[in-house]
Amino acid sequence: MTLKKLVRKKNPETGKMEYTLHPINPNFGDIEPMDGGKISGIYVETLDRWEKA
């Protein structure tokens, strides 16, 4: 199991924005979601302190 971020990328063939799963671990590559696929879990991180850059 790996943690991934759901990101949007422009498809170079169609020019449309599509969703991709981008792994947190750089040893793994991006994954294109399957038709009818679903997200089975969500990890949410909270920040105690933050500042706008």
pLDDT tens, position by position, 2-39: 788 889 989 889 999 988 889 988 899 988 877 777 77
Token pair of 15, please? 């020019």
Q: Let me know: does 12 contact 24? Beta carbons within 8 Å.
A: no
Q: What is the pLDDT of residue 6?
A: 86
Token pair of 34, please? 């399957």
Domain ranges of the chain: 1-53
Range list of H helices, 1-53: none
Amino acid at site 17: M
